[in-house]
Amino acid sequence: MKIRLFEIEEWEREPFADLAEAHDLEFHQEKLDADNAARHADTEVLSVFIYSELSADTLREMPGLRLIATRSTGFDHIDLDYARENDITVCNVPAYGDNTVAEHVFALLLALSHRLVEAVDRTRRGDFGPQGLTGFDLQGRTLGVIGTGRIGRHTASIARGFGMDVLGYDLQPDEEAARRIGFRYVDLDGLLRACDVVSLHVPGNDDTRHLISEREFGLMPDGAVLINTARGTVVHIQSLLRALADGKLAGAGLDVLPEEPTIVEEAELLRRVYRREHDLSTLLANHILLHMNNVVITPHSAFNTKEAVRQILTVTRENILGYLEGSPRNPVAG
């Protein structure tokens, strides 16, 4: 079987290397599109990331293609109609890092509740006095989870382990998950009014743009905390700054900011093509939020653990092996 992997970086190759023992395996750093597809006309199994353009014109150049294993959750870069019509199976990585991002929520929250950044900075300067570092307990407080998909549900589970009450809001409530985990659904306004901590887990799109703005901050209890590991556009930045400056919010933990370039997959942040085009350090360096003691910011790194990154490659390898063994895994077409 002729297996071709595109947009593959050096650190991604090792999990696939042993496929060369029984198959014709090639790695290519460039993306695949209609301009270069003819050079790879013999491809039978194809793996790409999201920058490859697998249009009908591209796929038509590979008449023997039987499997596309995209190393991403999304598959908008693939012409699924053409794949179906030509008996090409398409597999994806349905999820990666769900628990990873949920754990990061609590890394941010605990950093705020125990004033860890200030405490570490103080002790590094040789000051071991605890004055001014009084924090707050999580146990007994109420967490609001806006968006109860996979990451949101993991966040709710962890919160229950801390002894927190949990409220959820979602356009498509999962009542079975709510019963299993131990939270209940309310409307958005009710959640905002009732919660000491609000954690955001919704996609970034036109419907969620500025979902949390002046009005929503006004509904929250004085001294509430906002955690955002979703997308920066979900929060209206000027409203957030006012809420922090006025003391409406006691703090904010942010893994995302509105000024970040639009991304589709978190895994984009690990790739050289992204780093060449976007300098996140410059985008964040002068941001006023960075200079606020009650704000903790991380550089969109919530997903970035060895386990989560490995999961992308492991699932892709399993998708390829499953197809070769006659049992496709995680198919989205075909």
DSSP 86-134: TT-EEE------HHHHHHHHHHHHHHHHTTHHHHHHHHHTT----TT--
Residue 44 pLDDT greater than 90, yes or no: yes
21 is catalytic: no
Task: Sketch the domain layout of the chain as residue ranges.
Answer: 2-96+308-333, 98-301
**Is it true that 2-96+308-333 and 98-301 share their CATH fold?**
yes
Question: Which of 4, 104, 201, 231 is the catalytic position?
Answer: 231
Average pLDDT, the chain: 90
**How confident is residue 77, by pLDDT bands cut at 50, 70 and 90?**
very high
**How confident is residue 63, by pLDDT bands cut at 50, 70 and 90?**
very high
Residue 213 pLDDT greater than 90, yes or no: yes
User: Averaged over 179-193, what is the pLDDT?
Assistant: 98
Q: Is the dihedral of CA 204, 243, 106, 171 positive or negative?
A: negative
Q: Is the dihedral of CA 40, 267, 12, 318 positive or negative?
A: negative
Measured between alpha carbons, how far is residue 269 from residues 63, 233, 330 in Å?
33, 17, 24
**How confident is residue 151, by pLDDT bands cut at 50, 70 and 90?**
very high
Domain at 98-301, CATH homologous superfamily: NAD(P)-binding Rossmann-like Domain (3.40.50.720)
Residue 285 pLDDT greater than 50, yes or no: no
User: Averaged over 39-61, what is the pLDDT?
Assistant: 96
**How confident is residue 205, by pLDDT bands cut at 50, 70 and 90?**
confident
Residue 292 structure tokens: 């606020």
Query: HSE on the CB side for 270, CA within 13 Å?
Result: 23
Residue 282 pLDDT greater than 50, yes or no: no
Measured between alpha carbons, how far is residue 332 from residues 41, 48, 84, 278 in Å?
23, 15, 10, 31
Summarised one tens digit per residue, pLDDT across range 287-304 is 678 788 899 999 888 888
Q: Which residue has the higher pLDDT, 27 or 131?
A: 27
28 is catalytic: no
Residue 261 pLDDT greater than 60, yes or no: no
Predicted pLDDT of residue 300: 81
Overall fold of domain 2-96+308-333: Rossmann fold (3.40.50)
Burial class (CB in 10 A: 0-12, 13-18, 19+), 126: exposed
Q: Which residue has the higher pLDDT, 268 or 324?
A: 324
Residue 18 pLDDT greater than 80, yes or no: yes
What is the C-alpha to C-alpha distance for residues 180 and 96, in angstroms, rounded to an integer?
Answer: 22
Query: Mean pLDDT lowest for which of 20-34, 186-200, 286-300?
Result: 286-300
Contacts of 258 (CB under 8 A, 6+ apart): 232, 233, 235, 237
Summarised one tens digit per residue, pLDDT across range 94-139 is 988 899 999 999 999 999 999 998 888 888 989 888 888 898 999 9
Q: Which helix (H) or strand (E) holds 253?
A: strand 249-254
Question: Would you say 178 and 168 are in contact if contact means Cβ atoms under 8 Å apart?
Answer: yes
Contacts of 161 (CB under 8 A, 6+ apart): none
Residue environment code for 275-302, b if the CB has 16+ CB neighbours within 10 A, otherwise e: eeebebeeebeebebeeeebbbbbebeb
310 is catalytic: no
Question: Which of 7, 12, 216, 260 is the catalytic position?
Answer: 260
Predicted pLDDT of residue 284: 47
Tokens 């801390």 identify what position? 162
Residue 280 pLDDT greater than 60, yes or no: no
117 CA to centre of own chain: 24
User: Averaged over 238-265, what is the pLDDT?
Assistant: 83
Measured between alpha carbons, how far is residue 196 from residues 44, 109, 298 in Å?
54, 11, 22
Residue 10 pLDDT greater than 50, yes or no: yes
User: Averaged over 29-39, what is the pLDDT?
Assistant: 95
Secondary structure of residue 193 in the 3-state scheme: helix
Predicted pLDDT of residue 286: 41
Q: Tell me how many degrees the CA angle 299-313-270 measures, rounded to the nearest 5.
A: 25
